[in-house]
Homo-oligomer: A and B are copies of this chain.
Amino acid sequence: MTVISVLPGDGVGQEVVPEALRVLDDLGLGLEFDVLDHVNAGAYLATGTALSDDDVDRIRRSDAALFGAIGDPRVTSPDYARGVLLRLRFELDLYVNHRPVSLPAERLSPLKDAKRGAIDCVVVRENSEGLYAGIGGALRQATSHEVALDVEVNTHSGVSRILDYAFGIARSEVCMVDKSNAVPNGGRLWQRCWADARRRHPAMVTRHLYVDAAAMRLVSDPAGFDVIVTNNSYGDILSDLAAELGGGIGIATSVNLNPSTGFGLYEPVHGSAPDLAGRGVANPVAAILCAALMLGDLGHTAEAEAVRAAVARTVEAGRCTPDLGGSLGTAQAGAAIRAELG
């Protein structure tokens, strides 16, 4: 029995994840859903804890997790996201954040030059260390003399394993992105691990960019990228940028993955989108494509392809939400995809 942990979370997560579950149900694969509906900002505000040790155990025992979004305008503390999404990434050692971007149709590119704009790449974001480590502190906190310190941690094993993952999935090129001309310690380590990884994979074409140049290059030549590998913070930024160039965040997927255990937490790149939430207008495609990504990783390759094809046909036909050029609401867009699935 395959068990899927389901964490809709906040905002539009509550609206799009059910659409993904409906698609999965229709496929009749007998997946069991363990819905952790209480993991959200409401619980955090009421009790101070959104995700308990028991929850983490339940998720750990499942075969994969489907995540919605996390974030709420009422919550300003970093403790919330750190206690849920980052906790799961760290405790389950989901050290790869794999974020594929592929422009589905020329009309969805925000760029004038359609050929150059046809992005089809994967951002491989290091997901277990870097600036997200949460190590640091504050001197004279909450005074007008405060000094706040956050430590960006990079380890040889952490950098090496993410580079190897990137080389392992690359088709034509690996582009490593860092800021080694300015950030000294992590910069030197990434450069050394990069040189070693290139020696381990001598047949692969490689490129190196500083992060500022990478952001520019994503706009000026997005189609030139295959795999971009970078640290946690730059990966956060560049993957959102790539998603926007690849048809918008309404369709962008990601998986937080441990390649050794095979466990994945599947997460739309869009956030909780408080401005859209509760209005039934959010695009369910990212959540549904996350389900497809999960199916593929669980071995249901044909079903994964069928879902992707159904999504592509509805988008092509304009049976989709306004961000993709249609006029449907969340439930209608989900139904259109299920209708295509037959």
Contact = CB atoms under 8 A, between A and B. Distances in A.
A243 B29 CA distance: 49
A68 B191 CA distance: 26
A211 B237 contact: yes
B146 A189 contact: yes
Given A220-B110, A245-B219, A185 B236 contact: no
B78 A148 contact: no
Interface in A138-177: 138, 142-157, 160
A183 to B, nearest CB: 5
B153 A148 contact: yes
Given A216-B240, A241-B241, 15 more contacts: A78-B184, A110-B220, A112-B112, A131-B182, A138-B188, A143-B156, A148-B188, A149-B153, A149-B154, A150-B151, A212-B236, A215-B238, A215-B241, A216-B249, A220-B248
5 contacts: A78-B183, A145-B157, A146-B189, A150-B151, A241-B241
Interface stretch (A18-26, A79-87, A258-266, A296-304): A79-87
A187 interface: yes
Contact of A78 (B138, B145, B182, B271): B182
Identify the interface centre among A145, A149, A160, A185: most chain B CB within 10 Å of its CB: A185
A7 to B, nearest CB: 17
A334 interface: no
A236 B143 contact: no
A110 B219 contact: yes
Given A216-B240, A236-B179, A244-B219, A184 B150 contact: yes
Interface residues of A, number: 71
A198 to B, nearest CB: 14
A86 B182 contact: yes
Given A146-B156, A219-B245, A213 B240 contact: yes
Contacts of A240: 212-213, 215-216
Given A220-B110, A243-B216, A148 B186 contact: yes
B189 A148 contact: yes
Contact of A192 (B109, B134, B142, B216): B142
A156 B144 contact: yes
A211 B216 CA distance: 16
B148 A150 contact: no
A111 interface: yes
A240 to B, nearest CB: 4
A149 B185 contact: yes
Nearest to A113: B110
Interface in A251-304: 271
A202 interface: no
A93 to B, nearest CB: 17
Given A78-B181, A212-B236, A241-B241, A152 B153 contact: no
A186 B149 CA distance: 6
9 closest A-B pairs by beta carbon, nearest first, are: A148-B185, A212-B240, A148-B189, A216-B244, A215-B241, A146-B156, A78-B184, A150-B152, A148-B154
Nearest to A132: B182
